[in-house]
Structure 1
């Protein structure tokens, strides 16, 4: 090392960053590997004098002249670190042979990873830099101290409205996910994401940076927008870099604040639903995706700036590799990345969190790919993802261990810690715990009677209105008997005339062929008289049981003539009730006949009642028009309009579950609630196995 003449790569890009203690650090950007390295200004002084003409000893002597002192051992360690990072030429890592081997290895790795573009594909569409430059004044007009002050004043009110209006979720049209509204919702989502990405771009542009690229990224086949703001590393002030990273999240938060006000002060409908959707999407995407530091999105880059730790993810995985291979297996050739005690703790914590999160993420990726595509294509893509994300990294690690098996010298302390951690993880995934599923339900009467007009007569009196309670035998409405009496008198006269005509024909013995016709006419008149007399006995419609008028036609008023047999309303018994719930076909196994479930109602502070399942049947109704289950009427079952007759049909197959409910507290009929189904205790491992077995059993035949 002392005789070599290393040279600092001239293509490395430099960025000076201010630190909290008043000094500076240097960020080195490798344009080949697209990696960033943070070093101190003191270490950079050594790099600068390594120009390929000096040995390490000569470089140390040169630095002494400028008041910079390095020991030979310290300088050798730094040169070794820089060399391994690929920052120096002329070392054992910078020779043509090693570089050629490294290049071939990188190209091979890139070829193997090219298939990952199926799952992470970025498509640049435009260079927005000129447009951003011309419209930057609009951004400054919209985002300034005045508008930020107004937004700050609106935030407490938005939180208050969100908390006080939370219980409205069960009663309003919050789930407009039918075909008619999906277009509107997708447009709204695109607009929110445009706001997000342009916020990044304008904040970067306002700091004098170039924004060379915007486009569409397909992450697990889901399209989303992206903006290239990597030039932010040129800024020396980390607060400005963090502001660029946070701009998108803050813009979505602002959208959520305004959406809360719109949602709270609008009536149920499409505007109300879109506002709720924007509010939910803005919060969810910011918290779980863009703001998640375990994913390489905004939150990750804000975190590495806050911690002043570039390449946090790569370094954390390197630390975990060191802990396992060096501290457990005793392979001394695997060294820890240079770091302080604080940095080492952060790297370990982040690495463990990232590894656990990746298991969950990759499982979700496999499930999404398998379920969202054609069966055969889904199997192929899921198998490919399983190989690339799980099998390949594990096999690579196993091969690496195999090549270093001769270096293994197990360390008892490390092995003990590893066993304790492993046993704890196994116990965690093997420990059974219970959970529950929640489904929409509503209260319906088990005894329902339609209110039907009993006679062909006009209405003279309606004694109830919709929502009224009635007692058994109470008169609901009366019909005007005068038209019936007038018709009855006419029929009686006709009856007497026909009887007289029959008597004359029989006495005269003339026109005897008419006699049979007269008898038929007489029989018809007698039937009509009997019908009218029956109708006269039914001019009052009385309640058949105690209950309530659940529906009543608004046109059913005195003077109206709806016609005999017309249904003008409905009444239901309020005590003999049943709870109805719709379960998706995929979850029907979670509930069994005669099993115990719990129904929760939003009454007071909440009321929960245990019920017994009476029956479970396939839900064959193809029209949910008017049903509280339909998303078009405030329910949670996604529906779409089918056929020309306008059927409000569910998008997926469902099962109808019924439970008897005596309703002693008088809960209003039609109230929506939640059906809570408890599951027997199962471990995480058992759940995964059951899910995999169920999928295999269901799909074993292609």
Structure 2
């Protein structure tokens, strides 16, 4: 409220006799213990929030009283805080602009046509501003819902809630009992070509039932649903309904139930699907049930139930904390803080109307802006990988809506708004200083620049002890943990069939030599054949004797014998080339680090220092240096501990269960830590930080953007 009750422009409107149009309806609601009124426009579906004083003025505007008489009566009824004439002028201006008032003068048809075109333009612009969710209305379902109300109204009762709880809880129990089977290789199940096709068929059906839940809930409590349509959600068709009439319900629990009805439907379907999945045989029905579980539970809770997105969760959250128009008021509150405290505008009006709203509005404005911007860019980037031109266009529109448009509006406000007539120089100075500070922080101020990677404690290949032949390990000749000399026997293997084979070959060789001696003088052709057989048998015998000698495993170098699982080795059958253990010196263990292709250039060219933390001692930081780089990119991961299944960061190709293979090319570096590594940490995870000095944030972002374009779009 302004300090003066009177306005210099009052004479222009004082004699008017306005009244509300017939398509306007007022509803009484309560927010945070205070009474407010909601003006519903049945023609456009829009809602306007009114204070008790504004509602009183509207109620007295019957077409017979002049606006002067209405204002005087309202001032008498609110002597402690009477409405000013400026407030009254703003109120009727807003209502007139929304086509909710009519007066004693005949309607201006040209003005009505202009308003209709303006409304159509605003609707089109609102749709284009959100290109990731384009809407196309189809038909009016309200007459059909009127006929079906007696059938679905019992669902919104205590008995309906009991059935819903029984199914959802049963589904949760079934999912909990089969958690390992459900979560094992989720990526492989979800991303297979057959499953993607099945999910594309199921998704529209599930979302149609979701939207039907909203429509039925709104109708069950007396609302109207006049629009059903098709929405292109990230280019994927999905149905939608307009159940916004629930905003006029007096009970916040009814409004919340209408907003949550779609989520309730999907959770119910997910519970049924869990029961079907547990009882069905492997096949199409079981795969469909699995997809319904994922879509109806994880998907709906992460997106529809997220209050930071303008979906169901947003309206549930706004009604729960009793802050209507949470998103728009949160943005207005941030702008109010800038006007009031940065620009020192004394007349800045806060959108806060009740105690406790300030922290909610500020936190929500910041969190929603960051989250929506991130999601919009991520979705646009994903689409760009499939349709480059369209994806870049979507990214540009998202960037324009979230960054460029607010900046243009802010600049227009600074340069032209009348509120700054006597403070414009201060506003320009502050804006220039803030812009300069932000640009300096982004492009000039260097900040520490590091790359994080994971590795495992690794023993070089030449230190590993491997069997040279198949056999059963019978004895460890050197106790693990003791020093061994180069060439010293470490273990013995046993292969009875090998000894027998050597004996047979020796006997065959002796027989061939005797036959050769007998035929050498009498039959030269036969002697030549026997000579060739002798040479072949000698070669085979040599190979088998080498394998027989390989039954004794010897150390290739001097060092400490390390044998993981030594207690279980005696009596175990080992294949040729299988590792028994290691013979290590103090400098042998290194950290084998795996880095993705996006980071390899920085690590190669700009590494100024290396620091490491062992997983078992994260509080201890140890210095290191790059010892060597494995030349060229590779797909094979040195250890499963570095894959996502083992808690690492490298995504693995689920179609190859035999060995861990990365989905994208990786590069391997060996890092030597100062002071060496103890032998008992072989295979343990190590966190590595490569220090690249300092660099401003903007140049890092530009480098990352360039890498994205090179890797995803080849441009």
TM-score (norm 1): 0.69
Partner of 2:5: none
Among residues 408, 411, 422, which one is paired with 2:421 in the alignment? 408
Contact 1:17 1:236 survives alignment (8 Å): yes
Partner of 1:12: 24
In 2 relative to 1, CA 359–178 (structure 1 residues): closer, same or farther, beyond 3 Å? closer
In 2 relative to 1, CA 640–137 (structure 1 residues): closer, same or farther, beyond 3 Å? same
**Is 1:451 aligned to 2:464, yes or no?**
no
Aligned positions of 1:571-590 closer than 5 A:
571-573=580-582, 575=584, 576-590=588-602
Report the CA distance between 1:485 and its aligned residue: 1.2
Contact 1:139 1:202 survives alignment (8 Å): no
Unmatched tracts of structure 2, length 5 or more: 1-12, 275-285, 556-560
**Is 1:503 aligned to 2:521, yes or no?**
yes
Partner of 1:118: 131
**Is 1:44 aligned to 2:55, yes or no?**
yes
Contact 2:603 2:690 survives alignment (8 Å): yes
Tell me how far apart the structure 2 counterparts of residues 230 and 19 of structure 1 sit (CA, whole Å): 18
Contact 1:369 1:381 survives alignment (8 Å): no
* Greater displacement, 228-237 / 137-146: 137-146
Task: Find the residue that maps to 2:15 and give its secondary structure.
Answer: coil
Tell me how far apart the structure 2 counterparts of residues 148 and 436 of structure 1 sit (CA, whole Å): 50
Report the CA distance between 1:615 and its aligned residue: 0.7
Report the CA distance between 1:2 and its aligned residue: 1.0
**Is 1:89 aligned to 2:89, yes or no?**
no
Aligned positions of 1:388-403 closer than 5 A:
388-395=401-408, 398-399=411-412
In 2 relative to 1, CA 578–193 (structure 1 residues): closer, same or farther, beyond 3 Å? farther
Partner of 1:265: none
Among residues 604, 625, 647, which one is paired with 1:592 in the alignment? 604
Report the CA distance between 1:319 and its aligned residue: 5.4
Contact 2:490 2:552 survives alignment (8 Å): yes
Partner of 1:364: 377
Partner of 2:530: 521
**Is 1:74 aligned to 2:84, yes or no?**
yes
In 2 relative to 1, CA 411–319 (structure 1 residues): closer, same or farther, beyond 3 Å? farther
Report the CA distance between 1:557 and its aligned residue: 8.3
Partner of 2:395: 382
Tell me how far apart the structure 2 counterparts of residues 581 and 259 of structure 1 sit (CA, whole Å): 43
Asked which structure has the greater RCO (Cα within 8 Å, sep 6+), the reply is 1
Partner of 2:310: 296
Report the CA distance between 1:528 and its aligned residue: 1.6
Partner of 2:495: 478
Partner of 1:180: 192
Aligned positions of 1:78-477 closer than 5 A:
78-85=88-95, 86=98, 87-90=100-103, 101-116=114-129, 118-122=131-135, 134=151, 144=161, 176=188, 179-180=191-192, 183=195, 187=199, 207=221, 209=223, 217-221=231-235, 228-245=242-259, 286=301, 289-290=303-304, 292-306=306-320, 308-318=322-332, 336=349, 340=353, 342=355, 345=358, 349=362, 353=366, 356-357=369-370, 360-361=373-374, 364=377, 368=381, 371-395=384-408, 398-399=411-412, 404=417, 408-410=421-423, 433-434=447-448, 438-439=452-453, 441-442=455-456, 444-447=458-461, 448=464, 451-453=467-469, 461-463=472-474, 473-477=490-494
Tell me how far apart the structure 1 counterparts of residues 40 and 75 of structure 2 sit (CA, whole Å): 28
In 2 relative to 1, CA 685–226 (structure 1 residues): closer, same or farther, beyond 3 Å? farther
Task: Find the residue that maps to 1:652 and give its secondary structure.
Answer: strand
Tell me how far apart the structure 2 counterparts of residues 440 and 318 of structure 1 sit (CA, whole Å): 45
Tell me how far apart the structure 2 counterparts of residues 321 and 124 of structure 1 sit (CA, whole Å): 34
Partner of 1:667: 681
Contact 1:175 1:638 survives alignment (8 Å): no
Q: For 1:334-363, what per-residue CA distance to the aligned partner results, in whole angstroms no more than 9, with x for missing partners?
A: 974776475884697268527853784487
Partner of 2:3: none
Contact 2:255 2:319 survives alignment (8 Å): yes
In 2 relative to 1, CA 592–637 (structure 1 residues): closer, same or farther, beyond 3 Å? same
Report the CA distance between 1:214 and its aligned residue: 7.0
Tell me how far apart the structure 2 counterparts of residues 377 and 329 of structure 1 sit (CA, whole Å): 40
Partner of 1:535: 544
* Greater displacement, 530-539 / 488-497: 530-539
Contact 1:235 1:241 survives alignment (8 Å): yes
Partner of 1:28: 39
Partner of 2:653: 639
Partner of 2:280: none
Task: Find the residue that maps to 1:476 and give its secondary structure.
Answer: strand
Contact 1:328 1:418 survives alignment (8 Å): no
Q: For 1:603-633, what per-residue CA distance to the aligned partner results, in whole angstroms no more than 9, with x for missing partners?
A: 4889876654321544344x77996666789
Report the CA distance between 1:688 and its aligned residue: 3.1
**Is 1:490 aligned to 2:500, yes or no?**
no
Tell me how far apart the structure 2 counterparts of residues 406 and 258 of structure 1 sit (CA, whole Å): 59
Among residues 11, 14, 23, which one is paired with 1:2 in the alignment? 14
Q: For 1:124-172, what per-residue CA distance to the aligned partner results, in whole angstroms no more than 9, with x for missing partners?
A: 789695889746657868864698699999999x99x9xxx9xx9xx98
Task: Find the residue that maps to 2:55 and give its secondary structure.
Answer: helix
**Is 1:544 aligned to 2:554, yes or no?**
yes
Report the CA distance between 1:393 and its aligned residue: 4.8
Unmatched tracts of structure 1, length 5 or more: 261-270, 506-513
Tell me how far apart the structure 2 counterparts of residues 630 and 327 of structure 1 sit (CA, whole Å): 50
Q: For 1:424-466, what per-residue CA distance to the aligned partner results, in whole angstroms no more than 9, with x for missing partners?
A: 8678767655476555645554224653437xxxx6x55389x
Contact 2:612 2:686 survives alignment (8 Å): no
In 2 relative to 1, CA 185–240 (structure 1 residues): closer, same or farther, beyond 3 Å? farther
Tell me the matched-pair count: 652
TM-score (norm 2): 0.68
